[in-house]
Amino acid sequence: MTFSRRYVLGAVVMMSLTSMACAGEVEPYQLSPGDTVEIGIAPIPDRTQRAVVQMDGNIALPEAGMIMVAGLTASQLQRRMQEVLPSKIFHVRLTDGREQTVTVEPDDVTAIIADYRPIYVTGDVLTPGQQAYRPLMTVRQALAVSGGFSLLRSRAGQAGPDPVDLKRDYEMLWGDYTKEYLHAARIRAELQGQADFDKKTPQGSPLSPSVVAAMAQAEAEALKVALSDFRQEQDFLEKGRTDAAEQIGVLQKRERVEGESVKADEQDLARVTKAFDAGNLTNTRLADVRRALLLSSSGALQTSVELMRARRQQEDFVRQHERNDNQRRIGLLTDLKDTNARLADVTARLHAASEKLQPTGASTQPLPIAGETVRAQVTIVRKIGNEWRKLLVDEDAIVLPGDTVEARFSSELQSVAVQ
């Protein structure tokens, strides 16, 4: 690395630290054990050295020995090196093997912070652990590198079922709930004689729209078939009632005609009998008239029987029409009652499953699995002076080297209750 590049890099780092302090409203960063500094001397490019700040706050340089740098800012480190190194004697071996003494001026010295101490992310994140620090790094960026928040990890350290299994069971219960929810909506539509029903996804459901759409389509097809079958059966019974009514009309007309015929035959028999008694007619004529009256009376009697049967059949069709509708409604109401009971059971199990998935110390409200926002509490554990402090921050706060970022879910979860 040439002198000019090192100088520019040092200036950029110092500007970054200054910007970091302004953005996060913190003091300029001070060197601590674990940081790495890079010291460069312009007249001696091959003497650029990196040194790690030791536990006692010193760095070790071959020509200068141990130098205390802990607690220095980037600009103070630069000034410190410009004070120390020009007082030292540097020997440079030339290409011909001779040694040459080099005098170092303060402006020849550059000192930058090459690597910072790592930060640590812990708590309810997908992959907690150590991360390399970058200037101007925010809590949001640190959480992103850790994979973001993880509701399931919040219970991973607790005894009990695997959180992944609990989440699977929770979503399976949502499948049962959605199926019963759509089934109940279909039954209500069928009771009202409607050809369609509300196919919206139940509020809070984590199921994909395609899965819910498939369930709704199956219920819609069942509704279509049920309504079609019921209407066909009712139409059949109505047609039977109409046919019976028409048959009754025909039989009533025939009954009137045959009644008039019987009356005429009776009058004819009375006239023939009177003539026979007077000796004006033979037995054969009297027998023929009597036979005609018997035939007309038998026909009238048969018509009366058929008319009675037709009326009974008409009444049967009417009663069957009403009974069919009533039995259907009773069946649907029973199905709706059973469906509501199953919905209540699944709802209770959903609440229980969501509570099992709650983070430690969380509220007892149902846990949102998908499509919802939860509140998380982020704390930075930072050493300020000689003591460690916990700072409650938001996700836009600036992180400093050596910080530990703790992500925990707060006691309040914004969730949608099972409807």
| pLDDT for the residue numbered 102 | 77
Of 205, 171, 200, the closest CA to residue 185 belongs to 200
* Mean pLDDT within 10-22: 43
* Mean pLDDT within 386-404: 90
Whether 163 has a pLDDT exceeding 70, the answer reads: no
Of 58, 6, 9, the closest CA to residue 31 belongs to 58
| Residue 70, phi-psi category: left (phi > 0), alpha (psi -120 to 50), beta (remainder) | beta
Q: What is the CA radius of gyration of the chain?
A: 50
Residues whose CB falls within 8 Å of the CB of residue 196, separated by 6 or more in sequence, listed in order: 189, 220, 223
Could you report the per-residue pLDDT of 99-111, keeping only the tens digit for each? 777 778 888 889 9
| pLDDT for the residue numbered 357 | 66
The beta-carbon contacts of 99-103 under 8 Å, at least 24 apart in sequence, are 102/43, 102/44
- The fraction of the chain above a pLDDT of 70, given in percent, is 82
* Mean pLDDT within 123-142: 89
Give the fold, CATH level 3, of 28-113.
Answer: wza like fold (3.30.1950)
Q: Are 364 and 417 in contact (CB under 8 A)?
A: no
| pLDDT for the residue numbered 403 | 92
| pLDDT for the residue numbered 161 | 59
DSSP per-residue string spanning 54-76: -TTSEEEETTTEEEE-TT--HHH
- Both structure tokens of 180: 């019963």
Whether 416 has a pLDDT exceeding 50, the answer reads: no
Q: Are 51 and 32 in contact (CB under 8 A)?
A: no
Give the fold, CATH level 3, of 117-155+363-412.
Answer: Ubiquitin-like (UB roll) (3.10.20)
Average pLDDT of the chain, as a whole number: 80
Q: At 39, is the secondary structure helix, strand, or coil?
A: strand
In angstroms, how far is CA 110 from the centroid of its own chain? 56
Q: Are 68 and 58 in contact (CB under 8 A)?
A: yes
User: What are the extents of the domains in the chain?
Assistant: 28-113, 117-155+363-412, 161-356
